[in-house]
Structure 1
Amino acid sequence: MKVQDHFEVIVIGGSYAGLSAAMALGRSLRKTLVIDSGQPCNRQTPHSHNFITLDGVPPAVMADKAKKQVLEYNTVTFKEGLVTAVEKQDDTFKIRLGDRTVIMAQKILFATGVRDIMPSIKGFAECWGISVLHCPYCHGYEVRNVRTGILASGETAFETSKLIQHWTNDLTLLTNGDPELTEIQTHLIHELGINIIKKEISELEHEDGYVKSAIFSDGTTFEPKAIYSRVAFEQHCNAPAELGCEFTDHGHIAVDFLGKTSVDGVYAAGDNTTPMRSVSVAVAAGTKAGAAINLELINDRLK
């Protein structure tokens, strides 16, 4: 084990929220380290949308440009690695990495995102982020007015059906078994002109992630251009829970408006804190958290 260095702030996670926070901290002259394991949740997505000045840019290109700009600030450094544990000792944090390096920090920001849990449908994971989509605000314009499916059941199916029908009139709800809908919900979905198929899906046939057809267990098919689905998720990093951070009922790290968690000195920003998963939201959250951490460091010194 080797203690490598001591930083004012360590940002765990080097995607949009983490890099945005690091820029705010770099511009605040804070000695900051960004640690990233290189597994962003949108790594399959061809293009990012709904972010002014960068609409349609591939996520990897956007992240690479952001990293280069952040590292122009000489107080910010970047390290590839996987954080395995974070321990709080009085007012200092000890961060352990997979290579047994130990790094110390006064403040921690978790920008670690979430890990999507794919359903056991052949081809689903390969299409995720390409033609199986989580957000109409991020991708709906590109698949507007085309044959579209919604893979969901229950309340999620009902709410998503209401939302997506604004982008296309050729919409089918695929419940993959029991719809778990009330009679009123079923009636309203039909009133919107949305067909419901209850058959179980055995495979999503695709070409390079672009769905060609949903193949049902009875051999019949449905041929959409896109499918919306909300999958389950889990936190990428267990350290916030191990530190005692509170979580919301939906499994996100609970934070205030500026990204502060329930544990002193610990902040969080990005997809690990909110269901609003978009680049613009992550960037804004990172900027706020970076500014809040800088102010907290100033106030700590004045105590």
Structure 2
Amino acid sequence: MNTEKEKVHFTDNYLLSPTNPITVNVVGAGGTGSKVLTALMEMNHSLIALGHAGLQVRLWDDDIITSANLGRQRFFECETGLYKSVALINRINRCIGTNWKAESRKFEKDSLGRIPEEARAIITITCVDNVQARFGVAEILKEVSYRRHYHNQPKYWLDFGNSQHTGQVILSTIGEIKQPNSEKYQAVGNLPFVTEEFGELLKQSEAEENTPSCSLAQALQQQGLFINSSLTQMGCSLLWDLFRNGMTPYRGFFHNLKDFATHPIKVA
């Protein structure tokens, strides 16, 4: 008889009943990031309705909106020439009265190796399209986690990544999250970084060409129309479960939209 307990991760207590809105950094405002922001808007409204303090989001992206971004990303023709981050955040703030922030710069260290103070957030969500950016984010998150203080102490990293028809979402903890004692479950407080667990796989994928698209038609040849939306809904559902259920037996999934197949990644 197998009596092994199911492994789960219990959500950090502060996320469940915070005294202030949960700070969230979203890195990347393209095909996935623009849709993740919409999901966070819905999540924020729902959390507040349930008596939670909600979310305080900061969106990072230094890209300018072009005609190639229209249709597949959350932008309109009248917004071409604007920063993606600014256009999206202004729209959200006007829509629901939030005071979310836009950063029209990369999420990276400056020329002197200093980390922006704004890089510290309880949750970091990456929607970037290159491997180097992921490793850069991992380095920053590790460094800020060593600077212990109570305000905006980093807790989680949720990474979205995709190719033409496939993608994955991976949840990581930033350091060890204190877990309660449980007779029913085996609590796991440390979920490894995507760059540690799948680092070699990421480096192999770096060889694939990822050039900017000059038109929507060219962009659709590089990525399916709905892969970003599909990943967004499932990935943000994982985040929602952390808030609503206080625990998760899963820390992500691999998704193949061409074959309509999804393989969950269990907490281990």
Return the structure number with greater relative CO, CA threshold 8 A, min gap 6.
Answer: 2
TM norm structure 1: 0.36
Flag the structure with larger Rg: 1
TM norm structure 2: 0.40
